[in-house]
Amino acid sequence: MKTILLPIYNGIRAKNFFYTDIYRGLTSETDLRLVIVIPPSKLAFYQKEFGKPNVVFEPLEIISESRFGRILSAAAFNFLDTDSVRLKQWWTYLKYGHYGKFLIKRAANLAFSGFKFSRRIIRFLDGFAALVPGVVKMLERYRPNLVIVPDIVFPPDRIFLRAAKRKKFFVLGTIRAWDNLTSKGVIQLLPDKLIVHTHAMKELAVRLADMPEKDIYVSGIPHYDIFFKPPLKPREEFLKMLGIPLERKIVLAAPFLYSHTASSLLIINELTSAVDDGRLPKDTQILVRYRPGTPPIDEKLFRPSQNLTITKPCSQYFPVRNIQMSTKDWEFSPKDLELLMNSLYWSDVTINTMSTLSIDAAVFDKPVINVRFDADPKTPPKHSVSVLLKHDHYKSIEASGGVKRVWNMGEL
């Protein structure tokens, strides 16, 4: 029996793996054992939702890298020559202050980014970062034929990649999301083979991460496979489930940006007001969708309206302690995923600020509006939409013409 080992340390990675044909295919192989290393708090949930005869869930807490590993990771982030990195440097200054640190990071970016030798130095120095003993023990216990790293830039995954490479296991890495190659810093460790979603990402992997072209496979986006064969509800059934009259047109409104919700509240209230006073048609229903990590708004703050429906993106949250998080993480249930797909499929237009929801909507060929203004005049600079307009990955989306941008409430 052959063994594949992989870590799953985040709800997004879990959604993009467990609900795809990849997982169904691997678990159907009778001569294959799949060892999935997970946060201990999620063990019972994963066993219940995704347990299969040839799957072993191994709980392992990963609290931190070594001090040298953390220093190297910080340097690697600042050595990447992209607007997204420079934008995040500025955003960190706005959030935490420390002008001196900001200047040092900016100087490092100016001096070292854009050069292959800088990236080679980072990867050379990574060879001196201490391995996490629990990860080494896991690898030595199972001796996997293949280690899959679902997200080569995510710190817990990088810890597995480091140990697997150091211990001479064959590693297949993937790029989880469209922004990872431009916004997470220099890729510290390269896998033996790399899977990317698109040819644009392949070009970035060669240019920014020095990955040999021959070792990159373009797969498409596996977690959208389910969008093309989903258990979609009939429109009538879906709207009845949410208590929405059948004649209503659906505006899927998700104008949220991280944890600041004051602007989102004002936008949603203005949309329902526009329905009431005739600026929008009377048969318009505002269907609100939060980001999974965004705190919900007190529903008493929404203006009363028969044209407003509020949904929750997910129902499962878990306490998590690892190198990346110290509070809680979310997980999609099958019902949560069904809500997402039906909300998109039966919407007539989608509103968001700067989100993967733009691509989700495009899969179903829905019109997309992106909010490019702060509805709340008291929005702190660190939460302002204007701070986020220069991300490399999103500039490509805007340049494609695939989204409409609005710069004030009247345009919206």
pLDDT of residue 208: 94
The reported pTM is 0.90
Residues of the chain with pLDDT under 50: none
DSSP letters for 201-215:
HHHHHHHHH---GGG
Give the span between the Cα atoms of 107 and 270, in whole angstroms. 44
What is the helix (H) or strand (E) element at residue 99, kind and residue range? helix 99-112
pLDDT tens for residues 154-211?
A: 899 999 999 999 999 999 999 988 888 998 999 999 999 999 999 999 999 999 999 9
Q: Do the bridges between strand 349-352 and strand 404-406 make them parallel or antiparallel, or are there none, so unpaired?
A: unpaired
SS3 state of residue 5: strand
Closest CA to 140 of 117, 169, 111, 116: 169
Closest CA to 148 of 122, 118, 173: 173
Structure tokens, 195:
């899977």
SS3 content of the chain, % helix, strand, coil (to 5): 45, 15, 40
Q: Do the bridges between strand 284-289 and strand 146-149 make them parallel or antiparallel, or are there none, so unpaired?
A: unpaired
Structure tokens, 261:
């919700």
Q: What is the mean pLDDT of the chain?
A: 92
Give the span between the Cα atoms of 157 and 125, in whole angstroms. 18
pLDDT of residue 323: 62
Q: How many C-beta neighbours within 10 Å does residue 51 have?
A: 11
pLDDT of residue 358: 94
SS3 state of residue 335: helix
